């Protein structure tokens, strides 16, 4: 990668700009040990959606970037480049992100971010950066990596990578280790396979291999966050800290109070003590007689106060009931007003047309705002010209509900999709697979089998019919 020239006279102004929306990521189930690792599944559908968003937004104009801001972005770019050359990839990513925020249209910055994300195995962001760079500069480097990430060879590599992640989620550690060992041999510059393998070897107790991989990782990413978890000898610092804390608690529980030594008392001290006690008893008796009258008077006052309190409580209860009624009336009025506003907003949005609504919904889904995405997909379904977006909207509503953890609504819309469309529809087999997966994960095995058998009957050529997980469910 070239360093950026810092001469302000050579900075070119570029008045064009567009907004890039993140590629949607389909994350699998969280794994307790490897929950901090990002599991990225890149498919042709995600790439197509990315390209569609870019092409739609390409003509959007924004304000010019000042020369001073460009110079600052070049400085951060050069810092990132220097760190990457010295194998501080994690820090380099931080600097290139800052540079990109300042100057989001520079092909060199985008290309360097793409290379760093590729090394970190964030394949979706790598594709995003290279494709964005190609749209701006159409340079050789971006073209090379866009073609690479779209190639059949990379698809095969990604299938193996994702397969090993699924093994982790299914607690098949040895099988996952075997795949990652081969990936490291084939692509020794990729960082995440080392990180995952180190955690897996730590889990299975292979200290020798874990230490070996830690040393190799230090050569390609010297400041990787994994080094905060393990010391130079490969000891898991978090586990060691927990053991120390447990040992400390046990020691505290086993401590015994040292018995106090008894001192001998003289007869003279006993006599003084008994005398003091006798005097105290006499005084307490006199105080008792004196205070008994006061106690009786106080009891009468308390009885009178109790009656007054009861009357006040009754009045307060009536007041609270009246206030509660008024609050409910105000709440009903507010809900009615809110409902009217929502209806007005819905009518206004639907008038924009299905295409605009669908693209807005896709943007919200890509950014992770699934609740808003669902609302705009529902607007799309109500638009008069929704016919060409109807199927995709129903599917994406189901997918969004699944992302939110709302399984019942996800099932409702997946069933609506497969009952409304035939096997020729793009997401038909995927909808059946997702429906069966939800059933299976919620202990509804028979319904999962029924869904998969229906898929096999209606779409015998679907790749899902040969999926290992599908075959396991149908056993």
d(CA 39, CA 26): 8
Is 387's pLDDT higher than 90? Answer: no
pLDDT of residue 329: 86
The alpha carbon of 342 is separated from its chain's Cα centroid by a whole number of angstroms, namely 30
Dihedral angle of Cα 153, 154, 160, 161, to the nearest 10 degrees: 160
Quick one: DSSP state of residue 258? P
What are the pLDDT digits (tens) for 197-247? 888 888 888 888 888 888 888 898 888 888 888 766 667 766 655 555 555
Which residues lie across from 16 on neighbouring strands?
61
What are the pLDDT digits (tens) for 405-415? 999 999 999 99
pLDDT of residue 281: 53
Cβ burial of 170 (10 Å; 0-12, 13-18, 19+) is middle
pLDDT of residue 206: 86
What are the pLDDT digits (tens) for 41-65? 344 444 555 555 555 455 444 456 7
pLDDT of residue 43: 42
d(CA 417, CA 422): 9
- Per-residue confidence band for 130, with pLDDT thresholds at 50, 70 and 90: confident
What Cα–Cα distance (Å) separates residue 253 from each residue in 189, 240, 248? 50, 20, 9
d(CA 429, CA 451): 10
Choose among 33, 32, 57, 196: nearest CA to 131.
57
What Cα–Cα distance (Å) separates residue 119 from each residue in 79, 90, 375? 17, 10, 37
Least confident of 52-61, 78-87, 97-106, 175-184: 52-61
Is 128's pLDDT higher than 50? Answer: yes
Instruction: Report the greatest alpha carbon distance in the chain.
Output: 108
């Amino acid at each position: 990668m070239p360093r950026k020239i810092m001469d302000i006279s050579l900075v070119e102004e570029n008045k064009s700009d567009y907004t890039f929306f993140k590629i949607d990521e389909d994350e699998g189930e969280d794994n307790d040990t490897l929950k901090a690792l990002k599991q990225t599944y890149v498919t042709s559908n995600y790439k197509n959606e990315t390209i569609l968003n870019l092409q739609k937004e390409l003509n959007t104009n924004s304000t010019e970037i000042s020369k001073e801001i460009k110079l600052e972005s070049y400085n951060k770019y050069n810092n990132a480049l220097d760190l990457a050359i010295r194998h501080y990839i994690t820090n380099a990513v931080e600097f290139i992100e800052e540079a990109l925020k300042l100057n989001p249209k520079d092909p060199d910055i985008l290309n360097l971010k793409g290379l760093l994300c590729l090394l970190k195995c964030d394949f979706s962001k790598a594709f995003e950066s290279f494709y964005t760079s190609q749209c701006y500069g159409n340079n050789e480097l971006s073209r090379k990596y866009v073609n690479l990430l779209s190639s059949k060879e990379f698809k095969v590599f990604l299938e193996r990578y994702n397969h090993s992640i699924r093994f982790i989620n299914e607690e098949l550690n040895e099988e996952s280790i075997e795949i990652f060992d081969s990936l490291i041999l084939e692509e020794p510059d990729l960082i995440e396979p080392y990180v995952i393998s180190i955690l897996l070897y730590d889990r299975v107790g292979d200290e020798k291999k874990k230490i070996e991989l830690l040393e190799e990782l230090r050569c390609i990413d010297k400041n990787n966050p994994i080094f905060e978890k393990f010391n130079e000898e490969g000891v898991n610092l978090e586990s060691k800290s927990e053991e120390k804390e447990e040992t400390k608690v046990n020691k505290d529980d086993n401590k015994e109070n040292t018995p106090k030594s008894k001192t001998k008392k003289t007869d003279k001290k006993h006599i003084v003590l008994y005398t003091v006690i006798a005097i105290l008893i006499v005084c307490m008796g006199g105080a008792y007689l004196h205070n008994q009258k006061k106690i009786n008077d106080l009891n009468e006052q308390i009885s009178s106060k109790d009656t007054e309190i009861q009357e006040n409580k009754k009045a307060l209860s009536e007041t609270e009931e009246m206030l509660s009624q008024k609050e409910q009336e105000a709440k009903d009025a507010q809900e009615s007003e809110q409902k009217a506003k929502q209806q007005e907003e819905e009518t206004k949005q639907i008038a924009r047309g299905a295409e605009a609504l669908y693209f807005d919904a896709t943007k919200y889904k890509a950014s992770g705002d699934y609740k808003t995405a669902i609302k705009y997909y529902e607007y799309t379904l109500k638009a008069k010209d929704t016919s060409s977006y109807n199927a995709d909207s129903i599917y994406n509503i189901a997918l969004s509900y699944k992302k939110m953890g709302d399984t019942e609504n996800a099932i409702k819309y997946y069933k609506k999709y497969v009952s409304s469309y035939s096997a020729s529809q793009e997401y038909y087999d995927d909808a059946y697979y997702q429906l069966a997966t939800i059933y299976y994960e919620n202990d509804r095995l028979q319904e999962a089998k029924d869904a998969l058998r229906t898929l096999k009957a209606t779409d015998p050529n679907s790749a899902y019919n040969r999926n290992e997980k599908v075959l396991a469910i149908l056993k």
